[in-house]
Amino acid sequence: MTQSLPQIRLLHPGHAPALLAFERENRAYFARSVPDRGDDFFTRFDERLRALLAEQEAGICYFHVLLGGEGEVLGRINLVDVADGGADLGYRIAERAAGRGLATWAVRELCHRAAGRYGLTHLRAATTLGNAASQAVLAKAGFAVVGETRLSGHPGLTYLCTLGEVPAPSP
């Protein structure tokens, strides 16, 4: 039996149950490398999802889910604050899917979509200093460190990627 390749899909309301399960299952894992979303995120998940979908409908943001062969959410990969030909990239990969090159593939794939489908010319990203895995993903996807920042009080790095210079995704 062959394992089907993951798919990146634009977020829609039908993803809500699987997306919430993904966030709950991976909360502690994510909190080891990125600031925790807090209890309010889970309590008000449906309300927050409606707001995100409204932003997406307005073209301010593009939210995506990374789906496995059974339709399970393996990750999120998003473009937020779309303006002036650029956007901020953010992503999260499930603990059970980490370490297999999935994040690198997804970031490269979304970079190509950002240029082709959304007409963007550049993407920005940021990581905490302690998130070496994310730093490696961004470097492999063609992002370069351009500065320092703070993410929820944690020191971090800022990155920039000029689209069109991104290595092609490979399955």
pLDDT of residue 1: 38
Whether the model pTM is above 0.85:
yes
168 falls within a domain: no
Instruction: Record the tokens describing residue 157, joined without a space.
Output: 């790095």
Domain span including residue 60: 7-162
Q: What percent of the chain has pLDDT over 90?
A: 70
Whole-number Å distance between alpha carbons of 41 and 52: 13
1 falls within a domain: no
The per-residue pLDDT for range 3-16, each reduced to its tens digit, is 567 899 999 999 99
Is 144 a residue whose pLDDT tops 80?
Answer: yes
68 falls within a domain: yes
25 falls within a domain: yes
- Please give the average per-residue pLDDT across 161-171, as a whole number: 70
DSSP 115-137: HHTT---EEEEEEETT-HHHHHH
**Which CATH number is 58's domain given?**
3.40.630.30
- Please give the average per-residue pLDDT across 133-155, as a whole number: 93
Is 81 a residue whose pLDDT tops 70?
Answer: yes
Angle at 122 between CA 59 and CA 126, to 5 degrees: 90
2 falls within a domain: no
118 falls within a domain: yes
Report the domain count for the chain: 1
47 falls within a domain: yes
The per-residue pLDDT for range 35-79, each reduced to its tens digit, is 678 788 888 999 999 999 999 999 999 999 999 988 899 999 999
Beta partners for 64? 10, 77
Angle at 67 between CA 14 and CA 12, to 5 degrees: 25
CB burial of residue 31 (10 Å; 0-12, 13-18, 19+): exposed
pLDDT of residue 165: 62
171 falls within a domain: no
